[in-house]
Amino acid sequence: MNTNMFLLSTASAGSMITSILPIAVVCIVSIFFVRKIMGFMNKINKFAPLMYENPDQYIKEMETLMQGRVPKDFKSMLITNIAVAYMEKHNYPKALETILPVKEMRMGRKSKYEFYMNLAHIYVHLGENEKALEIIHNELKDLNRFETGGNLPRLNAFLKAFVAMEENDWVYAKEILDHVKKTFPTRMAGVDFNILYKRMNACVEAARRQG
């Protein structure tokens, strides 16, 4: 009787171990990948100040990371960051050339939205207003959708002011730009509002002459 109970207990323990083992393996593998991803993120964040201080060096560092083993979800991020560094240099043709291939890459929903925001922003600076509006109307139907994180608030403000100007709603455009001046610098993370300020000033000057 005792022998049978022992065998039963052993069998139950073995069954339990067998059922727990896959879960343990999944946990270990998950921890490994999380640590790997966090380590890669730390590498990217370490170079963040260079984007403003030395964009050329930042581009070189990102390109070096691209040559190594990059997690799939990070490749589009690295390329977008390089494009933003070119925006910091006011090299919008190169920024466009750099960022366009991202469209065909694997991206999360937020990354995809940010990609289109940056693309529309570049087109505005290149004077391709129709292309910018097409992206905004088709891909960015709600510019308040993602308000936080990275340069998203600045991109939101820039694109909303641009659309307001295109629709001749200069009062709303001025409200946005006044908010921009109070909230954050006119140039940060590749987002340069000066093109919109010049357009606004030109409009005010034209109205003054007519009045």
Does the residue 171 lie in any domain?
A: yes
What is the count of structural domains for the chain?
1
Does the residue 37 lie in any domain?
A: no
Quick count: other Cβ atoms within 10 Å of Cβ 95? 26
Does the residue 29 lie in any domain?
A: no
Are the C-beta atoms of 89 and 81 separated by less than 8 Å? no
Query: What average pLDDT does range 93-115 have in this prediction?
Result: 89
Q: Put residue 149 in one of left, alpha, beta given phi > 0 → left and psi -120 to 50 → alpha.
A: left
Residue type, 179: H
Does the residue 146 lie in any domain?
A: yes
Residue 34 has pLDDT above 60, yes or no: no
Between 13-22, 136-145, 180-189, the lowest mean confidence (pLDDT) is in 13-22
Q: Which residue has the higher pLDDT, 184 or 21?
A: 184
Residue 155 has pLDDT above 60, yes or no: yes
Q: What are the pLDDT digits (tens) for 159-197?
A: 999 999 999 999 999 999 998 888 876 666 678 899 999
Residue 187, phi then psi, degrees to nearest 5: -125, 115
Does the residue 3 lie in any domain?
A: no
Does the residue 18 lie in any domain?
A: no
State the pLDDT at residue 189.
Answer: 63
State the pLDDT at residue 69.
Answer: 75
Whichever domain contains 157, its CATH number is: 1.25.40
State the pLDDT at residue 32.
Answer: 42
Does the residue 137 lie in any domain?
A: yes
Quick count: other Cβ atoms within 10 Å of Cβ 182? 6
Does the residue 169 lie in any domain?
A: yes
| pTM score | 0.76
| Cα separation, 17 vs 21, whole angstroms | 6
Q: How confident is the model at residue 76 (pLDDT cuts 50, 70, 90)?
A: confident
Tokens describing residue 158: 């820039």
State the pLDDT at residue 33.
Answer: 45
Instruction: Looking at the chain, list the stretches that DSSP marks H as alpha helix, in order from N- to C-terminal side.
Output: 2-46, 50-53, 55-67, 72-88, 92-99, 109-125, 129-139, 152-166, 170-183, 194-210
CA angle 211, 199, 94 (to 5 degrees): 165
State the pLDDT at residue 36.
Answer: 56
**Range of 160's domain?**
47-210
Q: What are the pLDDT digits (tens) for 35-72?
A: 556 665 676 777 777 888 889 999 998 898 888 777 77
